[in-house]
Amino acid sequence: MSPFRVPGRGRIDPDRPVAFTFDGKRVEGYAGDTVASALLAQGRHLMGRSFKYHRPRGPVTAGSEEPNALIGTRRGPGRFEPNTRATMQEIWPGLAAESQNRFPDLRFDIGAVNDAAHKVLSAGFYYKTFMWPRGFWDKVYEPVIRAAAGLGKAPSERDPDRYAARYLHTDVLVVGGGPAGLAAARVAAEAGQRVTLVDEHAEIGGTLLSEPQARIDGQAAWDWLAAERDALAGLGVRIMTRTTAIGYYHQNMVGLCERLTDHLETLPEDMPRERLWRVRAARVILAQGALEKPLVFHGNDRPGVMLAGSAQTYLNRFGVRVGDRAAVVTSHDSAYHAAFDLHDAGSAISAIVDVRTAPEADLLAEAERRGIAVLAGHSVTGTAGRLRIASVEVAATGGTGPARKIACDALLISGGWTPSLHLFSHTKGSLAWDAERQTFLPDRITEACHIAGAGRGFWGIGAALRDGAAMGAAAVAALGGEAGARDFEVAADRAGSGESRTELPRGRAAGKSRAFVDFQNDVTAKDLRLAVKEGMRSIEHVKRYTTNGMATDQGKMSNINGLNITAEALGRAAPEVGLTTFRPPYTPTTFGAFAGYHRGDHFEVTRKTPIDGWAEENGAVFEPVGQWRRARYFPQGDEDMDAAVSRECRATRASLGIFDASTLGKIEIVGPDAAEFMNRMYTNPWTKLAPGRARYGLLLGDDGFIRDDGVIGRLADDRFHVTTTTGGAARVLNMMEDYLQTEWPDLKVWLTSTTEQWAVIAVNGPNARKLIAPFVEGADLTPEALPHMSVVACRFDGLPCRLFRLSFTGELGFEINVPARHGRAVWEKLMAAGADYDITPYGTETMHVLRAEKGFIIVGQDTDGTVTPYDAGMGWAVGKNKADFVGMRALMRPDLIAAERKHLVGLLTEDGTTKLEEGAQIVLDPDQPRPMTMLGHVTSSYRSDAMGRPIALAVVMGGRDRMGEIVHIPMEGGSVSATITAPSFYDPENERLKL
Amino acid sequence: MTISPSTLVPGIIAASDAATVTMAEPVARFSLRAHAAERETVGGALGLDLPTQVGHVAGDEIEALCLGPDEWLIVAPEGLAERIARTEIDAAHSLTEITDRELTFRIDGPRATELLTTGWPRDPDSIAPGQGRRTYFDGASVIVWRDGPEEWRMDVWRSFAPHVVSLLATGCAELVAG
Amino acid sequence: MLLIHCPYCGETLPELEFAYAGEAHVVRPDPSTASDEQWRDFLFIRSNAKGPHAERWRHIHGCGRFFNAVRDTVSDRFLATYPAGTPRPDLSLSEDER
């Protein structure tokens, strides 16, 4: 056992040694140790280098608020986590930990040259310096200075771990498993509530883990804790350890991050590394205790300087003395107890320096009994020691006597305690200054929550237990239950009191003092004063100018000290200056935890058609369309997209193409008022459309702009089969429901999404009818009986079928709707039967080309939410004698009928070979000065196999009056000229539909 | 895990000591819509006393789940589909077959309810056994039926099923791991 | 994530089941008589309230109904929800008085 480990002390398991590495060197600790406690047990405080000045640093805390001891942890390839708090990371056999922000090594770091340059690196340095000269940005600032600052390196490999998520509903959520939280949970659970208790540490207990001397109701603290844990479990309380409440959101939703594997030697199969819980609690009890504040003085950041309460934790929870010879400087009683415990465990205490003039008599007596010198009314004016504190310089605050040096290898500091109200702050709950306790306490509560224990300024185990029980009872009462208050008998309690200070009196000029306030961001008291001197008045400005409290610890330790120093510099009282806001997450949280299951194949919902499996097996290249993945093209051999699309287009026009159109939105509109509803929704007239016929429908918004389109078949007088665009299906249904429910609730008509009821197979090409004829029963497929734009209910290969004759390609076309489960089987039968016709499956890219050759628009590609039916050249689709339809009134607004509106036109490049860029702007004169006057832009552009040249659609200002004019499209590599044409290129007379 | 709707077939999809996810055999499904004034007539024609409280279920061989004030999901054995579709109903209504729109997954086992909390923001205890609801599971609109304390059914639109099933399968294994 | 009370289901449910649908009580004028200005206001002019705001929501992954709500845009708290087609409640009255 190392000399700093105290046998029989702490909660580590001395029978289970655990070896890990730090910077490649083997370190031995015990089960129950953190990286920090194991290193401290080796007498080692130096664990990292600071962010800006690369100053050597060691842990100042024993918890999640740690600003200094940030390390990288590794578990094989991909499993690297930077900025891990050494004070929280439990050790396991094989853990590889490494220090950060140093080169070549932790003891000798070249970056420490920044420390010598600290005078130029003061507050606002970036704002002042990086302004000029401009050329320095690329060559000096960015690569050199910025690279020297920073914390851990982000991993570059893929994270092989899994992350999980869960929702949880509970009556009472207790955050914090210390005395207050334990008491609250017990009371609530005994009253029959569903209780969840969370704690960020490996075990519950909080302060009790660091104060085993206390006796609760006659039991030793740890025995009481063990019994209480069993009692809670017996009452069905869900106890979650290694679980951090990271954020408190609206209406009592609390986010929890549960760490499941970071402490394990071997990873159990299927176990996620972390799990994010979204907890909805009827009542929340925040029992997060208080955080100890450091004192601010010159050289307060040397390794070996540590919060007194944390030193006590290392001793009592981990059995580690943080030094052989410790000095103490404090403004609070609690540090005395840390000193006494350390003394009693065998360390020498060289002095207790109390900045207060009159410490409590019983503390002085206890010190005297141990032979510890107490220097009341004294202050620390500096420290010495390069990689570890070696001495502390002390002087009377009156300023008369000379400073004297006291040798030490650890310096315990305490500036009092700050209630941990970060989560409360997330709720926008307000804080009020409590003069007696010298701290901010919760004031206005906005959520259904209670704050218990030290969070309300109740110091000491007894007070926390009693308040916890009271708040537990209050939560029960708020839920309509009954629970009484509870008392606890606590002996050897250490409540104490103290004072809140600004920077301690200095032994040197203010400008020479390097008294750190924010350890993680390297902000000093001088920086804060400089910010005020340079005109910052608001605490929010001071924070941003100096970056005080903006590091990953969000100023857990620095906030109040920063405020006190700023207020002093402003000559105002701290409560008047006010606090900055804490925001989620409480402690840094991995991206993995937030992503949860949503990564890789499960990243987001990917909708797949019944025929998707066939496409995948047959080499389709997919593209996302809305939430769907659709086959884009089916390459053969080493075809690229252009070659495949060209082949697919050619085959479809020459003989037969087959296309999975299942993603098309389908809405069944049924009821006696179905036709009336259709009249009001779509621009077209529907009353006279006979059952069995279909029509192209255009849907506008009430602003007159095109929202969607699709072919609509009338199945019966009271039943329409509406199709929508793939991406528009949900939106269109929502819009229809909106009008139906809120504008025309009297109409007797109902809407049902049938998108997924039907698999839809489109067959197009001169041989389409020949292909399907043998499968169809109960329908006459002759052009006379089933003309273009018609629909018939029949049987297809024995299955119920809605067979549409329509065409989005310009070829003879049918869309076969069969019940979805049969989609793939029917597709495969058609593929087999189509062999005679060289049947060719095609994807969305070919579909786009074929329709563009015909000038059919794609809503959302050729329209952008500012295109009217007239702009698109589709005035023919607008019913002229209708009383109302959505968008009708807007189409009469002057702006929507102006002559200079952009019209949909065709574009053919002059050279006949250049394919225009979609989205490219169109100008009349390519040589005009910039900024050029833009007439419109290219909306669709393809190589057309049928036309033997590229074709494009575009919207051009006054385009229909510019037929034949030459326009210019500036593209990369020069301007391209093109002729404006009608937006229809192939078979404009629709001869090919007359089959 | 790449799953296509066409590769999902009735039977066990995922199973662990915590829960089992089974794809159910197909049933006939209809969306029935009618205003309050016609509710009794429409229900009567189908032999149902259509419930008026959202989430409540009525019927025996043919079941009706009230999804909204004028909306019921009708579920029946497949063989009855044609008969239901041809029911003479002498009142304004909409009856639309959606048999193939959804796939149904049965989720049961000692921790079935907990499995659902991997992607379900709603409090499962707000649904009593014997009831159902349309709700939201990991990005998909679904209908859940609670058949017992730890017995659930989930109707999922076919195209969403691969996504939903993949999470349920992941959860099944994870629940056992810890 | 908010909790929203659906007046049709009678349940208070997670926001994820709902979709926002813009300001409430914006009346669609009669298109045969509306002036250009009236139509413009209907399309584009909204109150953008700071504080209680009447707005529409749809229980889209539930009963499917559109309904109205008064939500405080400062605190993000729902003050009331009520069926579509009913007037904005006077929140100065108690629930029984409304």
Q: Which of residues A396, A415, A434 is at a domain's end?
A: A415
Mutation to test the B interface, candidates A242, A677, A757, A822, most B Cβ within 10 Å: A757
A22, A35 Cβ separation under 8 angstroms: yes
**Band of pLDDT at residue A665, cut at 50, 70 and 90:** very high
**Tell me, what's the pLDDT at A44?**
96
Q: Which of residues B45, B73, B97 is at a domain's end?
A: B97
**Band of pLDDT at residue A153, cut at 50, 70 and 90:** confident
Is residue A528 domain-shared with residue A423, that is, in the same domain?
no
Is residue B88 domain-shared with residue B123, that is, in the same domain?
no
- What is the DSSP track for A813-842? EEEEEEEGGGHHHHHHHHHHHGGGGT-EE-
Question: Any CB–CB contact under 8 A between A738 and chain C?
Answer: yes
Q: Which of residues B51, B75, B97 is at a domain's end?
A: B97
Is residue B167 domain-shared with residue B107, that is, in the same domain?
yes
Q: How far is C28 from chain B (nearest CA, A)?
A: 24
Question: Any CB–CB contact under 8 A between A795 and chain C?
Answer: no
User: Is the confidence at residue A130, as pLDDT, over 70?
Assistant: no
Mean residue pLDDT of chain C comes to: 95
From chain C, pick out residues whose CB is under 8 angstroms from the CB of A280. 3, 14
Cα A937 to chain centroid distance, Å, stands at: 36
Chain C residue with CA closest to A890: the answer is C39
Is residue A701 domain-shared with residue A790, that is, in the same domain?
yes
pLDDT, tens digit (0-9, with 9 covering 90-100), for A669-692: 999 999 999 999 999 999 999 999
Chain C residue with CA closest to A251: the answer is C2
Instruction: List residues of C whose CB lies inside 8 A of any B CB.
Output: 1, 8-11, 13-14, 16-17, 60-65
**Tell me, what's the pLDDT at A995?**
80
Positive or negative, the CA dihedral A312, A316, A318, A323 is positive
Amino acid letter, residue A779: A
Residue among A568, A519, A575 at smallest CA distance from A547:
A519
Q: How far is A893 from chain C (nearest CA, A)?
A: 6
Q: How far is B154 from chain C (nearest CA, A)?
A: 14
Question: Any CB–CB contact under 8 A between A717 and chain C?
Answer: no
Is residue A684 domain-shared with residue A818, that is, in the same domain?
yes
User: Is the confidence at residue A943, as pLDDT, over 70?
Assistant: yes
Q: Which of residues A83, A113, A129 is at a domain's end?
A: A129
**Tell me, what's the pLDDT at A114?**
78
Token pair for A960: 């229909």
Q: Which of residues B66, B81, B97 is at a domain's end?
A: B97
**Subunit contact C3:A745, Cβ cutoff 8 A:** no
Q: In this structure, what CATH number is given to the domain that contains residue A559?
A: 1.10.10.1100
CB-based burial, A231-243: b 16+ in 10 Å, e otherwise: ebeebebbbbbbb
**Subunit contact B6:A605, Cβ cutoff 8 A:** no
Coil/strand/helix, residue A78: coil
From chain A, pick out residues whose CB is under 8 angstroms from the CB of C65. 741
Is residue B46 domain-shared with residue B84, that is, in the same domain?
yes
From chain B, pick out residues whose CB is under 8 angstroms from the CB of A750. 33, 70-71, 93-94
In angstroms, the CA A344 to CA A324 distance is 12
Is residue B137 domain-shared with residue B169, that is, in the same domain?
yes
**Subunit contact A754:B166, Cβ cutoff 8 A:** no
Asked, for residue A806, whether it belongs to a domain, the answer is yes
Is residue A184 domain-shared with residue A237, that is, in the same domain?
yes
User: Is the confidence at residue A133, as pLDDT, over 90?
Assistant: no
What percent of chain C has pLDDT above 90?
A: 90
In angstroms, the CA A521 to CA A553 distance is 9
Asked, for residue A612, whether it belongs to a domain, the answer is no
Is residue A410 domain-shared with residue A376, that is, in the same domain?
yes
pLDDT, tens digit (0-9, with 9 covering 90-100), for A693-703: 999 999 999 99
**Tell me, what's the pLDDT at A633?**
98
Asked, for residue A652, whether it belongs to a domain, the answer is no
In angstroms, the CA A5 to CA B35 distance is 78
Total domains in chain C come to 1
User: Is the confidence at residue A147, as pLDDT, over 80?
Assistant: no
Where in the sequence is the domain holding B111, given as residue range(s)? Answer: 5-26+101-175
**Band of pLDDT at residue A499, cut at 50, 70 and 90:** confident
Backbone angles phi, psi at A40, to 5 degrees: -60, -35
**Subunit contact B135:C10, Cβ cutoff 8 A:** no
CB-based burial, A791-826: b 16+ in 10 Å, e otherwise: bbbbebbebbbbbbbbbbbbbbbbbbbbbbbbbbbb
**Band of pLDDT at residue A252, cut at 50, 70 and 90:** very high
User: Is the confidence at residue A734, as pLDDT, over 60?
Assistant: yes
Is residue B18 domain-shared with residue B51, that is, in the same domain?
no
Q: In this structure, what CATH number is given to the domain that contains residue A400?
A: 3.50.50.60
Amino acid letter, residue A442: P
Is residue A123 domain-shared with residue A187, that is, in the same domain?
no
A914, A968 Cβ separation under 8 angstroms: no
Is residue A485 domain-shared with residue A515, that is, in the same domain?
no
From chain A, pick out residues whose CB is under 8 angstroms from the CB of C76. 250
CB-based burial, A953-980: b 16+ in 10 Å, e otherwise: bbbbbbbbebeebebbbbeeeeebebbb
| Burial classification of residue B121, based on how many CB atoms lie within 10 Å of its CB (0-12 exposed, 13-18 middle, 19 or more buried) | buried
Asked, for residue C45, whether it belongs to a domain, the answer is yes
Cα B13 to chain centroid distance, Å, stands at: 17
Chain A residue with CA closest to C59: the answer is A734
User: Is the confidence at residue A631, as pLDDT, over 90?
Assistant: yes
Asked, for residue C88, whether it belongs to a domain, the answer is no
Total domains in chain B come to 2
A956, A905 Cβ separation under 8 angstroms: yes
pLDDT-flagged residues of chain B (< 70): 1-2
Is residue B87 domain-shared with residue B49, that is, in the same domain?
yes
A 10 A CB-CB count for B52 gives: 12
Average pLDDT over residues A406-422: 96
Is residue A696 domain-shared with residue A810, that is, in the same domain?
yes
Question: What are A938's strand-pairing partners?
Answer: A954
Mean residue pLDDT of chain A comes to: 94
Coil/strand/helix, residue A933: coil
**Tell me, what's the pLDDT at A70?**
95
From chain B, pick out residues whose CB is under 8 angstroms from the CB of A166. 117-118
Asked, for residue A600, whether it belongs to a domain, the answer is no
Asked, for residue C98, whether it belongs to a domain, the answer is no
In angstroms, the CA A700 to CA A684 distance is 11
In angstroms, the CA A704 to CA A893 distance is 9
Is residue B14 domain-shared with residue B34, that is, in the same domain?
no
Average pLDDT over residues A481-489: 92
Q: In this structure, what CATH number is given to the domain that contains residue C25?
A: 3.30.2270.10
Is residue A226 domain-shared with residue A312, that is, in the same domain?
no
A468, A183 Cβ separation under 8 angstroms: yes
Is residue B107 domain-shared with residue B57, that is, in the same domain?
no
pLDDT, tens digit (0-9, with 9 covering 90-100), for A93-104: 999 999 998 877
Q: Which of residues A579, A599, A630 is at a domain's end?
A: A579
| Residue B96 Cα distances to A496, A682, A752, angstroms | 74, 22, 7
Average pLDDT over residues A579-600: 93
Q: How far is A903 from chain C (nearest CA, A)?
A: 23
Coil/strand/helix, residue A120: coil
In angstroms, the CA A301 to CA A58 distance is 8
pTM for this entry: 0.94
A55, A64 Cβ separation under 8 angstroms: no
Is residue A377 domain-shared with residue A445, that is, in the same domain?
no
From chain A, pick out residues whose CB is under 8 angstroms from the CB of C64. 737
Chains touching A (3+ CB pairs < 8 Å): B, C
Residue among A933, A929, A988 at smallest CA distance from A956:
A933
In angstroms, the CA A193 to CA A197 distance is 12
Using CB atoms, which residue from A251, A742, A884 is nearest to C3?
A: A251
Total domains in chain A come to 6
| Least confident interval from A36-45, A116-125, A258-267, A762-771 | A116-125
Where in the sequence is the domain holding A710, given as residue range(s)? Answer: 659-842
Asked, for residue A250, whether it belongs to a domain, the answer is yes
Where in the sequence is the domain holding C9, given as residue range(s)? Answer: 3-83
**Subunit contact A893:C14, Cβ cutoff 8 A:** no
**Tell me, what's the pLDDT at A795?**
98
pLDDT, tens digit (0-9, with 9 covering 90-100), for A187-205: 999 999 999 999 999 999 9
Using CB atoms, which residue from B2, B7, B35 is nearest to A601?
A: B2
Q: In this structure, what CATH number is given to the domain that contains residue B43?
A: 3.30.70.1520
